[in-house]
Amino acid sequence: MRRADYVIKRVAFAIITVFVAITINFFLFRVLPGDAVRNLSRVPRASEEFRHSLEVQFGLDKPLWEQYLIYLRELSRGNMGVSFSNQQPVWSNLREALLNTIPMATLGTVMAIVIGIVTGVLSAWRRGNTSDHVSTNLAIAFYSFPTQWLALVVLIYMSAWFPSHGMTDPFLIDPTPWEHFVDVMRHMALPSLVFALTLYGEYTLIVRSAMLETLGEDYVLTARAKGVPQRRIVVRHAFRNALLPTTTLIALSLGYIVAGAILIETVFSWPGIGNAVYQAVTERDYPMLQGAFLVLTISVVFFNLLADLLYFRLDPRITE
């Protein structure tokens, strides 16, 4: 029953979180200064009648509370609205952007997880050594670097070997499936590398901290007193019990895969959801912003819920 209560509470909390995020998401963009209709009416000296027709077309002439109720009703039907900028369904725009972002962000996140866990475990194992100092300082440095600066540095020094912008080569005429795959992977190399470099540092620091805390537990000292090999202590005893904070961090990272990285995608002109959000901000495209942040919220909440459920396997004491 305790496990069932725990699952019910976690699921209920996730649903409430999504609803609160939807509400904040709707009102947040409407309290910002500026006028969406002014950006829509790009015709110089647009008449008041033209602006009013745009307000009626997109429902902006209604009271805010009525717009909110309409938004909730349409959202319950799976309709995220219509983009102000291209008059296409928001979900169609987001789906295309997601299909571009997810492979790039997934590759970068997987690289960050593998590098971060390996370097974190080795740093904790070799605590105080030169390798520990170098690994920790590098992790702190890459964690602290501004994303756009790191992206520009990678762009400057590695653009001679890999394409520096876009997702495909427009001059590659009628490529075979394999040629298209290789072309996309070459374009994906630099943005996914920057994605990995910006993430791996926090994995290294969290894993190292959790490992050091676990290595000081009594059961680890007992295992050492019994003569258990150091490698077995690190891998089978310490690392498994240090997975709780690491699992939470991985869940957060997987959730943010959907969001991509606005600055990285902007620097490399990658046509993903981060770039779509940037364009929506500049054009005050409320439906696109609402849709993008809603997808991000649901993904983060879902993976956090998944992490909470995985705790059953990692630490049964969590329901006690």
Q: What is the pLDDT of residues 49-81, one digit of tens each?
A: 656 565 565 566 677 777 788 778 877 777 777
The yes-or-no verdict on residue 1 having pLDDT over 60 is no
Q: What is the mean pLDDT of residues 257-267?
A: 74
CA dihedral of residues 259, 7, 24, 94 (deg, nearest 10): 30
How confident is the model at residue 55, as a pLDDT?
59
Q: Mind giving me the DSSP string for 198-264?
A: HHHHHHHHHHHHHHHHHHTSHHHHHHHHTT--HHHIIIIIIHHHTHHHHHHHHHHHHHHHTT--HHH
- Alpha carbon separation from 128 to 136, 214, 229 (Å, rounded): 10, 17, 20
> Could you tell me which of 159, 185, 150 has the C-alpha nearest to residue 264?
150
Convert 84-95 to b/e letters by CB count within 10 Å (16 or more is b): bbeeebbbebbe
Q: What is the pLDDT of residues 125-135, one digit of tens each?
A: 778 788 888 88
Task: Go through the domains of the chain in sequence order and give each one's CATH number.
Answer: 95-284+299-311 (1.10.3720.10)
Pick from 34-48, 209-223, 258-272: least confident: 34-48
Q: If pLDDT is split at 50, 70 and 90, which confidence band does 29 have?
A: low
Average pLDDT of the chain to the nearest whole number: 77
Q: If pLDDT is split at 50, 70 and 90, which confidence band does 41 have?
A: very low
Q: What is the pLDDT of residues 192-234, one digit of tens each?
A: 998 888 888 888 888 888 888 777 777 777 777 777 777 777 7
- Percentage of the residues of the chain whose pLDDT score is greater than 70: 82
Q: Using CA atoms, how far apart are residues 249 and 256, in angstroms rounded to an integer?
A: 11
Q: CB–CB of 312/101 below 8 Å?
A: no
SS3 20: helix
- Alpha carbon separation from 105 to 75, 94, 202 (Å, rounded): 27, 15, 16
How confident is the model at residue 162, as a pLDDT?
86
Cα 65 from chain centre? 31
Q: Using CA atoms, how far apart are residues 253 and 232, in angstroms rounded to an integer?
A: 29
Q: Using CA atoms, how far apart are residues 183 and 319, in angstroms rounded to an integer?
A: 49
Q: Using CA atoms, how far apart are residues 43 and 281, in angstroms rounded to an integer?
A: 20
DSSP 77: T
Q: Using CA atoms, how far apart are residues 201 and 204, in angstroms rounded to an integer?
A: 5
Q: CB–CB of 319/2 below 8 Å?
A: yes
The yes-or-no verdict on residue 243 having pLDDT over 80 is no
> Could you tell me which of 218, 265, 279 has the C-alpha nearest to residue 90?
279
Helix axis angle for 273-283 and 90-125, nearest 10°, is 120
Q: What is the mean pLDDT of residues 242-250?
A: 73
The yes-or-no verdict on residue 111 having pLDDT over 60 is yes
Q: What is the pLDDT of residues 160-176, one digit of tens each?
A: 888 888 888 877 777 88
Neighbours of 204 (CB within 10 A): 28
Query: Exposed, middle or buried: residue 45 (CB in 10 Å: 0-12, 13-18, 19+)?
Result: exposed
Query: Length of the chain in residues, anyone?
Result: 320
Q: What are the structure tokens assigned to 312, written together?
A: 């059953």
Q: Using CA atoms, how far apart are residues 106 and 257, in angstroms rounded to an integer?
A: 6
Q: CB–CB of 182/96 below 8 Å?
A: no
